[in-house]
């Protein structure tokens, strides 16, 4: 069962590299970078973020005007105390002053970076569910909005489907792997043995072992349509929350369909996530390169998780932004946060569909679906 891990370790030791854990961490490091509108403008970094609501109690009788709190789940190799996350929190606050931002940590230990690589995602989501329920502000808010960066996007979807308490109004995911990954990463060269060994781990049956499925986080959203039966039998996370198994969980569908908006953002030049179209729930045949958009897939047609219901109500959004994985532009973030977040019942939260489609060219998007 563990032959590939041993092979991996052997490769690593022949190269005098640190063990598997350390190698994966070095390989899969994709922290957020926010590209500011004007590089000489330093307002974001000097705008200090604190997890405090600005108007805590001074306008109690004017609740309609206070923005909903935002929960934010970071990606692989990032940490909830990283600069990119704090900058994002600052942008949320600039877009909707007074926003209470909660940076999710999937572990109780002080540094949560390693929990983005290692652990059982089911247990991580359970922990996040308990933590949010104990937060005095989040648990008393009528609802929250949610931002998921990379794998944090599908984990928040898991939170919504399984727990959703406090309930999420709108979810925005950036470069997430809703339909899984078929490799860890595109290797930069034929001689990058660490990268090739890590990808080989996914391609071997070892990926379906109990050990890997309960410890290696990305393995829990590995999905290869050429190896679909094993995926259905052994995937610890993705096959379940995508309701791909014969017995469907009706709660998952009900909860996801209850979102006001589910906004899936794909990075146009994403060379990290394989395939990047996973960010839009598309299915890619890695041999032929054929892309089947979500609207042509059974998960949508039979509406296993509520995507069709959302779409028919105009609440499933396909957004594309320029740039490589997690290279976020300030103006894109501000536009999306402005568009979909803010006060409960706010007139802006999700009604400007026409404008969005114009900016991004709806014809171009449709042809990709």
Binding-site ranges for ligand NAG (CB under 6 A): 120, 122-123, 162, 210, 213-214, 225-226, 229-230, 233, 236, 249, 251, 285, 287-288, 292, 296
CA distance 311 to 278: 17
Do 56 and 9 meet the contact criterion of CB atoms below 8 Å apart?
Answer: no
* Token duo for residue 360: 């991004």
Question: In this structure, how many other beta carbons lie within 10 angstroms of the beta carbon of residue 109?
Answer: 9
- Rounded to a whole number of angstroms, the minimum distance from the CB of residue 352 to ligand NAG is 26
- Rounded to a whole number of angstroms, the minimum distance from the CB of residue 213 to ligand NAG is 4
Q: 225 or 258: whose CB is closer to ligand NAG?
A: 225
Residue with tokens 């929990």: 115
> What does residue 167 show for φ and ψ, rounded to 5 degrees?
-70, 145
- Rounded to a whole number of angstroms, the minimum distance from the CB of residue 121 to ligand NAG is 8
Q: Is 62 a catalytic residue?
A: no
Q: Which of 112, 145, 270, 303 is catalytic?
A: 270
Find the residue with minimal CB distance to ligand NAG. 214
Q: What is the DSSP string of 87-149?
A: HHHHHHHHHSTT--EEE--SSSSS--TGGGTBS-HHHHHHHHHHHHHH-TTGGGSS-EEEEEE
> What does residue 274 show for φ and ψ, rounded to 5 degrees?
-115, 115
DSSP bridge partners of 261? 170
Q: 50 or 296: whose CB is closer to ligand NAG?
A: 296
Strand 144-149 relative to strand 70-73: parallel, antiparallel, unpaired?
parallel
DSSP bridge partners of 349? none
Distances (CA, A) of 174 to 153, 193, 271, 291: 7, 29, 14, 19
- Rounded to a whole number of angstroms, the minimum distance from the CB of residue 192 to ligand NAG is 26
Q: 46 or 367: whose CB is closer to ligand NAG?
A: 367
* Token duo for residue 36: 């500011």
Helices (H), the chain: 3-14, 20-27, 43-46, 83-95, 121-134, 151-162, 193-203, 210-215, 228-234, 238-241, 250-257, 298-301, 307-312, 330-340, 353-360, 362-368
Q: 90 or 220: whose CB is closer to ligand NAG?
A: 220
CA distance 331 to 213: 38
* Token duo for residue 343: 């006060």
Q: Is 74 a catalytic residue?
A: no
> What does residue 222 show for φ and ψ, rounded to 5 degrees?
-75, 135
- For residue 18, the 8-state DSSP code is P
Q: Which of 145, 209, 325, 332 is catalytic?
A: 325
Do 350 and 338 meet the contact criterion of CB atoms below 8 Å apart?
Answer: no
Q: 122 or 258: whose CB is closer to ligand NAG?
A: 122
- Rounded to a whole number of angstroms, the minimum distance from the CB of residue 240 to ligand NAG is 9
- Rounded to a whole number of angstroms, the minimum distance from the CB of residue 304 to ligand NAG is 13
Closest by alpha carbon to 213, among 233, 243, 242? 233
Q: Which of 90, 105, 150, 209 is catalytic?
A: 150
Q: Is 192 a catalytic residue?
A: no
- Rounded to a whole number of angstroms, the minimum distance from the CB of residue 287 to ligand NAG is 4
Question: In this structure, how many other beta carbons lie within 10 angstroms of the beta carbon of residue 240?
Answer: 19
Catalytic residues: 150, 270, 325
């Amino acid at each position: 069962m563990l032959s590939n891990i041993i092979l991996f370790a052997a490769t690593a030791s022949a190269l005098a590299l640190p063990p598997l854990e350390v190698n994966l961490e070095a390989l899969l490091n994709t922290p957020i970078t926010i590209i500011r509108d004007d590089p000489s403008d330093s307002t974001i970094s000097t705008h200090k973020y604190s997890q405090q609501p600005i108007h805590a109690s001074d306008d109690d009788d004017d609740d309609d005007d206070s923005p909903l709190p935002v929960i934010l789940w970071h990606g692989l190799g990032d940490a909830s105390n990283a600069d990119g996350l704090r900058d994002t929190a600052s942008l949320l606050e600039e877009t909707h002053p007074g926003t209470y931002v909660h940076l999710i940590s999937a572990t109780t230990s002080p540094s949560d970076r390693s929990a983005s690589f290692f652990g059982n995602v089911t247990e991580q989501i359970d922990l996040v569910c308990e933590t949010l329920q104990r937060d005095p502000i989040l648990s008393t808010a009528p609802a929250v909005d949610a931002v998921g960066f990379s794998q944090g996007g599908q984990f928040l979807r898991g939170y919504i489907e399984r727990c959703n308490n406090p309930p999420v109004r709108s979810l925005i995911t950036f470069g997430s792997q809703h339909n899984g990954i078929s490799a860890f990463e595109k290797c930069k060269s034929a001689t990058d043995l660490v990268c090739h060994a890590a990808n080989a781990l996914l391609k071997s049956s070892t990926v379906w072992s109990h050990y890997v499925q309960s410890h290696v986080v990305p393995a829990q959203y590995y999905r290869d349509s050429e190896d679909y039966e094993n995926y259905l039998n052994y995937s610890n996370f993705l096959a379940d929350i995508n309701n791909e198994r014969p017995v469907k969980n009706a709660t998952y569908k009900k909860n996801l369909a209850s979102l006001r908006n589910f906004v899936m953002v794909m990075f146009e030049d994403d060379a990290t996530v394989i395939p990047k179209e996973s960010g839009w729930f598309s299915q890619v045949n890695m041999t032929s390169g054929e892309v089947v958009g979500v609207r042509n897939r059974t998960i949508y047609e039979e509406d296993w998780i509520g995507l069709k219901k959302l779409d028919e109500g105009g609440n499933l959004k396909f957004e594309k932004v320029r740039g490589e994985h997690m290279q976020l532009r300030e103006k894109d973030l501000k536009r999306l946060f402005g568009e979909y977040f803010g006060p409960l019942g706010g007139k802006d939260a999700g009604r400007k569909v026409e404008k969005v489609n114009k900016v991004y060219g709806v014809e171009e998007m449709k042809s990709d679906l």
